[in-house]
Every structure is written in structure tokens, then in C-alpha cells.
């Protein structure tokens, strides 16, 4: 009769570690377990349920009985953030096999190991893309319109809140929050996602349940400068859309303001670069040639 282990949410890595350690020492094989966390439900009805937190209060077996390579622990912390519901079962199975099959440790080509590594890489990629594609919009509480000389919309003297909307693929918001804290420590910012939100007020990171896209601010006047930059840094003589899509998949486009420029820029590109090739060279502009060796910091050598 399979045992069900309840975890405290989709990223309850500590709960998994406690339960896994205890079950391993008790000799419970992977096939006899069902892992479940609140948001994902279980396959079957609950039989002998065992709350992971209750298990944590029970005396832990001595650490020497359970020896796990540090590489496995590091792998766990990445794999368990993946959205695949069977990730806990996979990691327990790997742990079980590592304990009972010593040669597994030296074999990076094993299928379970490759599967876990593939999931860990997917989580790493998602974390990296979140760091790349989160876009903050500054929101000023005061009047609209700033003083001349500042950037559009800026209200001098006031510290704005920077707010972003993002849609990660995996459960990575809590794991990634510290990166943003370290980078933007003196800013006040918030990242809203459908599953989880994080906010930094200058003292502590706070986590809240997910939000809706409408709660995030609309693009401000200053966002236009970024679009200008995007348009002009692109070289129309080189069109490599497949390469671009590989690194910036289409699923991120509706949250990246520059994405709507991609189609018009690509369409115009061929015409523009053919035009440059076909154009007659223009008459050179007259200029005064620079005199070398006069008034420069030329060193002796």
C-alpha cells in the first residue's frame, strides 16, 4: 500500500530532504511512495499519509547512516524547482540508487542522472532568462511630467518604485530574488508573477501570492528611448531570425516591449540593405585632413 508524503508547497526542498533522509534509513523503496505538494494534488486517495513537517519533528537518524554526495544535494536544489510533478519521485529514486548502487556516482551517462541534469539545466535557463527579461517600469507617486533636463516622466527628488511583470516557467521566484536584491539594493522594486510575487523595500524581501497582469503598470514615457535604441542598434544587412528566436523564444515576447518591432524591422531590413548595395556612392563631403603628430598624446614608443 503506497505511502503518501505531503510537502509544504511546490518548493519545499527542506521538507523533501527531511522526509527523504528518514525514508532512506527506514529502507522504504521509491516504488512504495507518492509525493505530493499542496498545489499539485495526488494521483490516488490518501492512505497512510505522513506529513513531512511531522516527520521533521521525529528524531532524525544519525547523519553518518545517510551519506549523500554533495553533487546530489546541489542537483536537488535545482531540480526541485522544476514544474514537473514527478520531480520528487525522481530525486528520491536517484537518492535510493546512489545508496544501493555505488557505481552510479561515477556514471554521468545514467538515464536517471541525465534526466535530472536536463531538468536542472532547464531551471538554470529559466533563472537566467528571468534575470535577462524582467523589465522594470518606474512608477512615481507624485505628479506626472518632470522638470526639463530630466528623462521623460521623471519627478526629481522622489524615489520611484520599479515594478515588473514576468511569467516564469518553473517555480523560481524565491530562488532568484536575491540576485535582484544584490543588484538593485538601493531601489524599491517589485516583481509580479502569476504564481508568486516578491517585493524589496530596502530592508527585507517579502513574498506574496501571485498577481494578475493588470496589476502591473503600463509602459511609461521613458520606455520609448529603449525602443529607439533597439531599432537603431540592429544591422539590417544581417538578418538571423532563427538565431534570435532560439535565445529569445516567442513565449517571452508579449512581455518585452521591443518585440513588436521585430516584424517591421525584419520586413524593412531586406529592402534597406539592398538599397545600400544598389545606391550610388555619394560625393564625399569635403573635410580638413587631420595633421598627425601635432597636439596629440603620441608616446615615444
Partner 1 sequence: MDLNRKLAILADAAKYDASCASSGTDKRDSADGRGLGSTEGMGICHSYAPDGRCISLLKVLLTNHCQYDCLYCVNRASSNVPRARFRVEEVVQLTLDFYRRNCIEGLFLSSGIVKSPDYTMEQVVEVARQLREVHGFRGYIHLKTIPDASADLLERAGRYADRLSINIELPSEQGLRALAPEKDGQAIRRSMGRLRSGIEAAREPAVQPIRVLPGARPRPARPPRFAPAGQSTQMIVGADGSDDRSILATSAALYRGYRMRRVYYSAFSPIPDAAQALPLKPPPLLREHRLYQADWLMRFYGYAHEELALDGQGLLRLDVDPKLAWALAHPARFPVDLNSAPRELMLRVPGLGPGMVERLLQARQVRRLRLEDLRRARLNLSKLLPFVLLDGHRPTSSGPGAPAAQLPPRQGELFA
List all residues 6 or more positions away from 145 whose beta carbon is below 8 Å from its beta carbon.
Answer: 153
Strands (DSSP E) along the chain, which ranges? Answer: 3-7, 33-37, 48-51, 137-139, 161-165, 188-192, 196-200, 205-209
Identity of the residue, 36 or 176, whose beta carbon is nearer to partner 1 in the bound complex: 176
Distance CA 138, CA 130 (A): 18
For the CB of residue 252, give the shortest distance to partner 1 in the complex, in Å.
Answer: 10
Q: What is the DSSP annotation of 231-286?
A: HHHS-TT---HHHHHHHS-GGGGGG-GGGGGHHHHHHHHHHHHHHHHHSPPPPPPP
For the CB of residue 221, give the shortest distance to partner 1 in the complex, in Å.
Answer: 11
For the CB of residue 82, give the shortest distance to partner 1 in the complex, in Å.
Answer: 18
For the CB of residue 38, give the shortest distance to partner 1 in the complex, in Å.
Answer: 31
Identity of the residue, 40 or 258, whose beta carbon is nearer to partner 1 in the bound complex: 258
Identity of the residue, 14 or 132, whose beta carbon is nearer to partner 1 in the bound complex: 132
Distance CA 193, CA 209 (A): 9
For the CB of residue 238, give the shortest distance to partner 1 in the complex, in Å.
Answer: 4
Distance CA 23, CA 144 (A): 60
Identity of the residue, 27 or 272, whose beta carbon is nearer to partner 1 in the bound complex: 272
Identity of the residue, 66 or 265, whose beta carbon is nearer to partner 1 in the bound complex: 265
Identity of the residue, 63 or 283, whose beta carbon is nearer to partner 1 in the bound complex: 283
Distance CA 158, CA 140 (A): 8
List all residues 6 or more positions away from 147 whose beta carbon is below 8 Å from its beta carbon.
Answer: 154, 156
Residue (of 69, 53, 67, 64) closest to 18 by Cα position: 53
For the CB of residue 154, give the shortest distance to partner 1 in the complex, in Å.
Answer: 9
Identity of the residue, 147 or 235, whose beta carbon is nearer to partner 1 in the bound complex: 235
- In this structure, is the dihedral angle defined by the CA atoms of residues 21, 95, 127 and 255, taken in order, positive or negative? negative
Pairing of strands 188-192, 205-209: unpaired
Identity of the residue, 50 or 187, whose beta carbon is nearer to partner 1 in the bound complex: 187
For the CB of residue 188, give the shortest distance to partner 1 in the complex, in Å.
Answer: 11
Cβ proximity of 257 and 226 under 8 Å: yes
For the CB of residue 24, give the shortest distance to partner 1 in the complex, in Å.
Answer: 23
Amino acid at each position: 500500500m503506497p505511502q503518501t508524503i505531503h510537502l509544504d508547497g511546490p518548493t519545499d526542498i527542506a521538507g523533501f530532504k527531511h522526509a527523504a533522509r528518514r525514508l532512506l534509513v527506514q529502507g522504504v523503496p521509491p516504488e512504495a511512495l507518492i509525493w505530493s505538494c499542496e498545489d499539485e494534488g495526488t494521483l490516488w486517495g490518501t492512505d497512510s499519509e505522513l506529513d513531512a513537517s511531522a516527520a521533521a519533528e521525529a528524531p532524525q537518524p544519525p547523519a553518518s547512516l545517510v551519506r549523500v554526495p554533495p553533487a546530489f544535494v546541489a542537483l536537488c536544489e535545482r531540480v526541485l524547482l522544476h514544474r514537473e510533478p514527478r520531480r520528487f519521485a525522481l530525486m528520491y529514486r536517484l537518492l535510493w540508487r546512489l545508496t544501493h548502487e555505488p557505481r552510479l556516482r561515477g556514471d554521468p551517462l545514467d538515464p536517471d542522472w541525465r534526466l535530472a541534469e536536463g531538468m536542472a539545466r532547464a531551471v538554470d535557463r529559466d533563472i537566467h532568462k528571468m534575470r535577462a527579461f524582467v523589465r522594470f517600469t518606474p512608477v512615481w507617486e507624485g505628479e506626472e511630467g518632470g522638470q526639463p533636463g530630466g528623462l521623460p516622466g521623471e519627478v526629481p527628488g522622489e524615489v520611484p518604485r520599479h515594478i515588473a511583470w514576468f511569467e516564469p516557467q518553473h517555480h523560481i521566484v524565491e530562488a532568484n530574488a536575491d540576485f535582484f536584491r544584490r543588484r538593485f539594493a538601493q531601489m524599491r522594486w517589485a516583481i509580479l508573477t502569476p504564481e508568486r510575487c516578491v517585493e524589496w523595500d530596502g530592508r527585507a524581501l517579502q513574498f506574496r501570492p501571485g498577481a494578475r497582469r493588470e496589476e502591473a503598470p503600463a509602459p511609461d514615457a521613458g520606455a520609448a528611448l529603449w525602443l529607439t535604441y533597439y531599432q537603431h542598434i540592429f544591422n539590417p544587412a544581417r538578418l538571423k531570425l532563427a538565431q534570435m528566436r532560439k535565445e529569445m523564444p516567442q513565449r517571452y515576447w508579449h512581455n518585452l516591449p521591443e518585440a513588436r518591432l521585430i516584424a517591421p524591422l525584419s520586413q524593412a531590413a531586406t529592402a534597406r540593405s539592398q538599397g545600400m548595395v544598389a545606391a550610388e556612392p555619394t560625393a564625399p563631403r569635403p573635410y580638413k585632413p587631420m595633421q598627425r603628430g601635432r597636439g596629440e598624446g603620441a608616446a615615444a614608443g
